[in-house]
Amino acid sequence: MVIRKYEYHRDFKKLLELFRTEGFIKGELRKNRSKETLRQSLNKSVTYVAYEEENLLGFVRVLEDPPFEPLVRDVYVKPSYRGRGIGKSLLYGLFERLSCERIQVATSDLSFAPHMGATLEQGAYYLRKPKEPTTYLLQDKTERKERRKKRKSKRIQERAYDEEDLFGSDEFHYMIMGYTSGGAAYGITWEEAYEDGLIEEEEDSFERKRDEKAHLSDSYEEDEIPF
């Protein structure tokens, strides 16, 4: 079983069918406005869905209205899948998303409240965060980890590309094709590059390059750079 946040392009049609077949939407509303009404309701709320492969098992929907506490509007699990902790798993995913201590239950529908462990506090029913279930995968966490890995890998690749594009050399200089504050390209010697940890090479090669540079520099004016 997978618990994840509702996504319109993946879940709307299945949720609409669930609302229709399970009797959430009735009468003229069901005939004429059910699709648009549900779409707007889901867009204005935080919804988590439970799936077993491609089968939608249930959902939980909550309204956020800061600074007030979140308000649960719906918790529903298909009858044939009840008693398996799916409702509590949905609530756990919701609490993970909202990062709050408790969620108020809508007074218009308290049928699920006792089963979910809701308690009466200060004249209203509240749900507390349940224990982490062990029988499901909270896909949001998994996907976040995968996205972080991809971003990290992308940054490493971009850094490698930058080094390929920005760094070069000639016979005497380790060129950094960047720009100073004045806008001029600059470079450093191989020895300086080695000292700065940009490259690794035997020291005698730097001494050789330095001697060659000193010999060659006699043919340049003082304000010229030999690259």
Run of H or E including 51? strand 46-52
The count of C-alpha atoms lying within 13 angstroms of the C-alpha of 84, restricted to the half-sphere facing its C-beta, is 16
For residue range 63-115, list pLDDT tens digits in order. 988 778 888 888 889 989 988 888 888 888 888 888 888 888 875 556 666 66
As assigned by CATH, the class of the 2-141 domain is alpha beta
The identity of residue 167, as a single letter, is F
The region that residue 183 occupies, defined by phi over 0 for left and psi between -120 and 50 for alpha, beta otherwise, is left
Contact call for residues 6 and 15 (beta carbons, < 8 A): yes
**Gap between the Cα atoms of 226 and 108, Å rounded:** 82
Structure tokens at 83: 């008693």
Average pLDDT over residues 176-189: 45
SS3 (DSSP) at 9: helix
pLDDT over 90 for what percent of the chain? 10
Q: Are 19 and 35 in contact (CB under 8 A)?
A: no
The alpha carbon of 27 is separated from its chain's Cα centroid by a whole number of angstroms, namely 40
CA–CA distances in Å: residue 121 to residues 42, 78, 127, 178:
28, 29, 10, 64
Q: How far apart are CA 203 and CA 64, in angstroms?
A: 65
pTM here is 0.55
- pLDDT at position 51 is 94
pLDDT at 131: 80
Domain coordinates in residue numbering, the chain? 2-141, 170-217
Read off the pLDDT band of 140 (50, 70, 90): low
Look at residues 220, 126, 102, 120 and name the one whose alpha carbon lies nearest to residue 172: 220
